[in-house]
Structure 1
Amino acid sequence: MNLPKYALSSSERMMTFEFTSEGTKGTIQKLVKYQETNLKDLYNLAFGDKNHETGEIDDKVISNNGDSEKVLATVVATLYAFTDKYPNVWIYATGSTKARTRLYRMGITKFLNEVKRDFEIYGELENDWDKFKIDIEYNGFLVRRK
């Protein structure tokens, strides 16, 4: 994605990334975490605002900072960094709400040609997985670097 991105800082293992969103509501700290699951080589992508009291991700808050495309491009940049270090893993992502999952689907759709060059991408249906298609409401997404 040839879009502006925020500068990232990461943990040594590339499991946690942090950046600062700058927009109409000021500066907002964001976190992206890749979390191991109980399945081999499957990680969950967790993303949201950094809760300043706990230091953890708050994926329920609605920032509306006016920079969603730049934030999305930055999250995608973490996918590249993570899969550079761990090239054979699958990453699962879903929104904390149906509306957020829909926003992620719209972002994938907008840049689908670019995404498909570097990643395999599947959409989660009720009891199945489908190669990602435009205009289908998915429950989540599964990606792996080509």
Structure 2
Amino acid sequence: MTAPADKKHTSWDRKAMLRFLRYTCVGGGTFLFDLAMLYLFTDGFGWSPVFAAGLAFFIAVSLNYYISRRLVFKGTTREFKQGYLGFLLIAGTGLAIVTGGMYIMVDIFKWQYIISRILVSFVTGMWNYLLNLYVNFKVAGKPLL
């Protein structure tokens, strides 16, 4: 027989997993949007892949904030503008990771820009999730609504 504390811990684990699954789905969708914009900016407009990746990231992360606030971090008590500012500050470090990683992979190592952006996304995605979960929205351990 399990103790009540174990049941609460298991319940939190399921809620945390559900939140992460929601974040992954939202992030996956906005990342596909990010890649489409990267392709448009690079192949359509002829922009540098590093600049295009930065701009596409900023646009996609803004869309991600709006959707994540509604679907992923529903338990937050932060006002929309305050949360968006925190989200942008966190995304700013993600932007540095994206543009820095793209510069290294594309400009120095001459890797294909879409593959490079996909590789960089693993680091930025986890970075953004953890900081938003614990710092910006502060919903870790709170029940999902």
What TM-score do you get using the length of structure 1 for normalisation? Answer: 0.30
Higher relative contact order (CA 8 A, sep 6+): 2
- Bigger share in strand: 1
> Normalized per residue, which structure has more helix?
2
